[in-house]
Amino acid sequence: MGTTAEAAAHKSQQQQQSRVLIVGNYCHDVLIQNNAVKAVSLGGAASFISNVFNGVSISCNLVSKVGEDFKYPVSYTPIVIHTLKTTVFHSYFDLGFHGNDHQDRILKRVCACDTIRPSDLPDTRFKYGMAVGVGGEILPETLERMIEICDVVFADIQALIRAFDSVDGTVKLVKLEETGFYPLLPRIGVLKASSEEAVFMDVEEVRKWCCVVVTNGKHGCKVYWKDGELGISPFLANQEDPTGAGDSFFGGFVAGLVQGLAVPDAALLGNLFGSLSVEQVGLPKFDTRLLQRVKDEVQRRKMQCLLHERSDDELKFLRPVGHEQFHTFLVAARLITPCSIEEHQWNSPSSAMETEQMFHITRSNLNY
Ligand SMILES: Nc1ncnc2c1ncn2[C@@H]1O[C@H](COP(=O)(O)OP(=O)(O)O)[C@@H](O)[C@H]1O
Ligand SMILES: O=P([O-])([O-])O[C@@H]1[C@@H](O)[C@H](O)[C@@H](O)[C@H](O)[C@@H]1O
């Protein structure tokens, strides 16, 4: 080991080993536009988040359930339920992909894999837990168990407030206070919601119990805590597919906190990964040079912040010294390493027949 800084970085990486528990099912995403399948992809918040974690070299434990039909190579092996199929979402983008928000996306859960129960979770303790279901797989008792075994739990509201039409699986949202998760809010650390989801909770009430992060597409995000709030700057992006933006944001945000950043810097990292995610269809590939720059700068920021603030395990909400420069650095790093145009194209299946065979999509379930 060379320098002291290298040794410190190595030690902190070692300490991060499996300190994070991600809970949520992988799924198959079928993206549909004008009644035609445009792309099929590995999906689920767990896949987008672990993709970001892999990018910044954070290892984790991941609990996810799939059916035998699940064929994607993934870093964290899911539990295979032989009697059920993998969760499938059809995303309809009939109003076009280049809109500025997600209201043009209609989601239908057309297949639901098993729920994740408390007994599916490991018996060990974790510092951070992420409750990131997409298809209703996380039960209130599962979240409660996560709270028991993790020092701090980060929950995506989409895991808590989704309901599914009994006929065609259309995703509807219900008020957070009407769910069995509501009494658990004072025991979680951070609740993340998109601006469309945030209207299903009383932010002013919930911020008294836990930190609330509301993402707002190309406008970035806002962090609310008990006695303060802060808007976090966005990054410019050419949006191709909004799928997974919120998940990639959450991955970047928690990755920042795991690495010891203050909340505003971590949210900036979230905005960076959200913006990179919308530029590609499906699971994004990150440029390795960009990742290296980001990792180096995060280490540097961490050290710099330690000089100015006491290091403890509490979330630090105030904007740290040099926050604007961190944004400027990331904007520049992003510009130096733009993604290639090829990576932005739809990953079109080679034939409609192939897609139908892979995902058992028939005319009847596409048209409802
Ligand atoms: N068009 C965009 N340009 C730049 N950043 C974006 C864009 N869309 C999303 N993001 C980033 O991704 C984050 C999550 O996106 P958002 O659309 O709010 O969530 P969700 O995917 O859950 O609906 C945003 O806070 C922002 O940082
Ligand atoms: O786009 P986003 O809101 O961040 O998250 C998405 C979920 O809402 C969707 O149910 C799932 O199928 C996607 O793979 C992705 O996880």
* pLDDT confidence of residue 315: 86
Phi/psi at 337 (5° precision): -125, 65
* pLDDT confidence of residue 236: 97
CA of 302 to the centre of ligand 2 (A): 30
Helix (H, G, I), strand (E, B) or coil at 209: coil
Helix (H, G, I), strand (E, B) or coil at 252: helix
Looking at the CA of residue 29, tell me the nearest atom of ligand 2: 12
C-alpha gyration radius of the chain: 20
Report the 10 Å Cβ neighbour count for 33: 16
* pLDDT confidence of residue 311: 54
**CA of 72, nearest ligand number:** 2
CA distances to 48, 63, 107 from 188, in Å: 22, 19, 27
* pLDDT confidence of residue 363: 36
Locate the domains of the chain by residue range: 12-367
- Whether 247 is catalytic is yes
CB distance 158 to ligand 2 below 6 Å = yes
Helix or strand run (H / E) with residue 304: helix 288-308
Report the 10 Å Cβ neighbour count for 149: 16
Can you tell me the distance from the alpha carbon of 239 to that of 26, in angstroms, rounded to the nearest whole number?
23
CA distances to 4, 54, 142, 146, 156 from 122, in Å: 35, 21, 12, 10, 20
Nearest to 330 by CA among 265, 247, 238: 265
Residue 148 one-letter amino acid:
E
Provide the CATH number for the domain formed by 12-367 in this structure.
3.40.1190.20
Helix (H, G, I), strand (E, B) or coil at 275: helix
Can you tell me the distance from the alpha carbon of 52 to that of 55, in angstroms, rounded to the nearest whole number?
5
Residue 217 one-letter amino acid:
G
* pLDDT confidence of residue 201: 98
CB distance 233 to ligand 2 below 6 Å = no
Query: Digits of tens for pLDDT over the chain (368 positions)?
Result: 344 554 454 445 444 446 999 999 999 999 999 889 999 999 999 999 999 999 999 999 999 999 999 999 999 999 999 999 999 999 999 754 444 444 568 999 999 999 999 999 999 999 999 999 999 999 999 999 999 999 999 999 999 999 999 999 999 999 999 999 999 999 999 999 999 999 999 999 999 999 999 999 999 999 999 999 999 999 999 999 999 999 999 999 999 999 999 999 999 999 999 999 999 999 999 999 999 999 999 999 988 766 665 555 688 898 899 999 999 999 999 987 655 434 444 444 433 333 443 444 433 343 33
